[in-house]
Amino acid sequence: MEYFLELFLGGLTRGSIYALIALGYTMVYGIIQLINFAHGEIYMIGAFTGLIVISVLTLLGWNQIAILVIASVAAVIYSCAYGFTIEKMAYKPLRHAPRLSALISAIGMSLFLQNYVLLAQTSDFLPFPCLVPDFEFWEPYSHIITSPELVIIIATTIVMILLTFLIKFTKIGKAMRATAQDRDMAMLVGVDVNKVISFTFIIGSATAALGGVLIASHIGMVNFYIGFIAGIKAFVAAVLGGIGSIPGAVVGSLVLGWTESFFTGYISSDYEDVFAFLFLVFILIFRPQGILGRSETEKV
Amino acid sequence: MRTILEIKSLTMDFGGLRALDHVDMDINEGEIVALIGPNGAGKTTFFNCITGIYAPTEGDMIISRPGKKKTRINGLKPNLVTEKGLARTFQNIRLFANMTVLENVMIGRHCRCSSGILGAVFRNRATVKEEQKVVEDSYMILEKIGLSEYVNEVAMNLPYGAQRRLEIARAMATEPFVLLLDEPAAGMNPQETRELDDLIVRLRDDEKVSILLIEHDMKLVMSLSDRIFVMDYGKKIAQGTPDEIKNNPAVIKAYLGEETDA
């Protein structure tokens, strides 16, 4: 039973991580029907920014938790700037082009950013310090779930709640939903669609960057290539849940996290990715619109 | 009477097809003007040009909002045209179907708000106050248009006539001085059409908006309009009061075809 609980919480942690990245995919898709393949790179850039800030502040001898908070904030801000710029450079000029053009532009952006970090930093795996201390009060439970994992789950939950509030109740949230449903109509009732799209990229980048710092700190290393596999997994999660749907992204991420966790725990850890993608294949066969997605009828 | 919307020689080409051919039109303050014509005459294209969905090939569109200077609106994006005070509805209903009635109206209201994204994130006092004002205003608009009973319903669950009125409510929320209605009575039963007739007159009298409408229901057009413009094949073929239009040979020809000797 305890082993089950351990796997369950492990899956929850993984799922939370995927959710932080998947949100960006699904929100961008919801608004401009684009799979933003450069999204995983935003996550990677977030992790690198975090590492740089952490290295500097550690040299200065700051308190660990303060470093983690500052590094996260810096990573979020820096990545938001990237997300904003990527949209303006690579997608906005293609707003009225066929969807495939923007998709290819996204793949190009992804390759560019990977190689840019490879050249600017290094191709080696760099160690990423774990800055979450082992909380004393958590000691009795730490054999089931460690403090860093706990922090990831809590941070994700807070982000989800804030995001739900933002989307449901604020002006910009309403504008986002309106734009997702009918972009032309949104413009006609006075919504500045360009602003909404930029904002969506910024929010998506922020959650991905936060994920980058938390995950790198959990796994303990970064490399220019980490964005690729994380991006693909989060993309799978978003599709699983129904791309375009925000609750769907969260549900899909958790389902994916648990699938991986239980299969690796009970069967074999060698096939972790195989299970994840096998699951995707079955979902796509039996429920192509995803778990919470609605089947789309093509508008004429 | 002051002219508040002036269209000069508006032309719109789609490749080799001339959808609008040097169309002139003007609307005066407090007028209800109808735009009629057979299918494919270019009426909706005309609306799309005015509201910024299309950028016209040629011509000028000038607005002069009461108390403001004359402004050209050529080439402005739709959201800026809306900010300038022109609002429209569509032939086929285009509500934000998954949002509530109140939210639909609030979105229209937001373009009259000053608080930006930072306000939404940090929720300072001015933003919270403004949000409250938006909700109050939206309730008021819904009441005027007779939709208060549906406030928290999801838009797509409304009866057809109510959805049409909600489109008008959402357009009114942007505080227009000219309201463009594209076939507002399409698909309505006679009872709903009569209510619409009343509503449009009320909007003109109480809310001081001028109205330009495209409509095929001739009874409604004749009873409502102060003036009528008739289009066919992208050209304006006639203009005048309802009585003048009824007896205009060019209009009869466009609608019924020409008599041929044979």
DSSP track, B110-178:
HTT----HHHHHH--HHHHHHHHHHHHHHHHHHHHTT-GGGTTSBGGGS-HHHHHHHHHHHHHHT--SE
Q: Is the CB of residue B217 less than 8 Å from the CB of residue B84? A: no
Question: A123 CB contacts (<8 Å, ≥6 apart)?
Answer: A223, A224
Which residues of chain A does B120 touch, with a Cβ-Cβ cutoff of 8 Å? 166, 170-173
Q: Is the CB of residue B118 less than 8 Å from the CB of residue B89? A: no
> Would you place residue A300 in the very low, low, confident or very high pLDDT band (cuts 50, 70, 90)?
very low
pLDDT value of position B120:
63
Distance CA A205, CA A188 (A): 28
- Quick check: A111 contacting B, CB < 8 Å? no
> Would you place residue B171 in the very low, low, confident or very high pLDDT band (cuts 50, 70, 90)?
very high
Interface predicted TM-score (ipTM) of this complex, two decimals: 0.80
Closest chain B residue to A195 measured between Cα atoms?
B117
Terminal-to-terminal C-alpha distance of chain B: 49
- Quick check: A178 contacting B, CB < 8 Å? yes
| Nearest CB to A188 within list B78, B97, B115 | B78
Average pLDDT over residues A41-69: 90
Percent of chain B with pLDDT over 90: 44
Q: Looking at A56-65, B61-70, B79-88, B121-130, which range is the least confident one?
A: B121-130
Distances (CA, A) of A278 to A79, A231, A240, A272, B129: 32, 17, 12, 10, 51
Average pLDDT over residues B121-141: 84
In this complex, how many residue pairs, one in chain A and one in chain B, have their CB atoms less than 8 Å apart? 77
A128, A127, A145, A156: which is closest to A67 by C-alpha? Answer: A128
Which residues of chain B does A190 touch, with a Cβ-Cβ cutoff of 8 Å? 79, 82-83, 108, 110-112, 174
| Nearest CB to A171 within list B52, B77, B113 | B113
CATH of B1-85+176-262, one of 3.40.30.10, 3.40.50.300, 3.40.50.2000, 3.90.79.10: 3.40.50.300
- Quick check: A171 contacting B, CB < 8 Å? yes
Q: Delimit the domains of chain A by residue range.
A: 2-228
Distance CA B61, CA A2 (A): 73
B61, B52, B49: which is closest to B25 by C-alpha? Answer: B61
| B contact set with A (CB within 8 A) | 51-53, 77-79, 82-83, 87-88, 90, 94, 96-99, 103, 106-108, 110-113, 115, 117, 120-121, 131, 134, 170-171, 173-174
Which residues of chain A does B138 touch, with a Cβ-Cβ cutoff of 8 Å? none
Percent of chain A with pLDDT over 90: 42
Question: Are A186 and B107 inside 8 Å of each other by CB?
Answer: yes
pLDDT value of position B153:
92
Q: Which amino acid, residue B116? A: G
Q: Delimit the domains of chain B by residue range.
A: 1-85+176-262, 94-173
A39, A190, A80: which is closest to B105 by C-alpha? Answer: A190
Distance CA B68, CA B56 (A): 24
Residue B12: what are its φ and ψ, rounded to 5°? -135, 120
pLDDT value of position A74:
96
pLDDT value of position B118:
65
Distance from CA of B37 to the nearest CA of A (A): 24
- Quick check: A192 contacting B, CB < 8 Å? yes
- Give per-residue pLDDT as tens, A145-178: 888 888 889 999 999 999 988 888 888 888 999 9
